[in-house]
Amino acid sequence: MEYRQISDDYSVSGQIQPEDIAAIKDAGFKSVICNRPNDEQPGQPSAESIQTAAEAAGLSFRYIPVISGQITIGNVDDQAAALDELEGPVFAYCRSGARCTNLYGLIQQQRG
């Protein structure tokens, strides 16, 4: 599993599997955000399956589905609230990591 560090407290990746949670925890992450809607692609693991694995490992989890290419202000606000509330560092994922990265950039613009 590869991920990109965007800031000291925020990293992103493409789709993860429930069995990736152990490595995410071992890497020091405290929280996971899923920005990928369920059933976006056949065979992808559900957010619920990732949430179950994350919470079993003692990590916090938030599901904030974002439709590819259609980030809304509500998505940005929800992600910003999650980042304010969740213990970091935070690991966010979607299909490729792009939505997670774009959300972070938009939050920084809002707060700038």
pLDDT of residue 1: 81
Residue 34 pLDDT more than 90?
Answer: yes
Distance CA 54, CA 102 (A): 24
Report the candidate in 24, 104, 91, 33 with the shortest Cα–Cα distance to residue 62: 33
pLDDT of residue 46: 98
What does the pLDDT average to over 18-24?
A: 98
Q: How close are the terminal C-alpha atoms of the chain, in Å?
A: 32
pLDDT of residue 112: 81
What does the pLDDT average to over 72-81?
A: 98
Half-sphere exposure of 18 (CA within 13 A, CB side): 12
**CB 75 within 8 Å of CB 67:** no
What does the pLDDT average to over 35-54?
A: 97
Distance CA 56, CA 95 (A): 23
In this predicted model, what pLDDT tens digit does every residue of 88-112 receive, in sequence order? 999 999 999 999 999 999 999 999 8
pLDDT of residue 93: 98
Domains and CATH numbers, the chain: 4-111 (3.90.190.10)
pLDDT of residue 80: 98
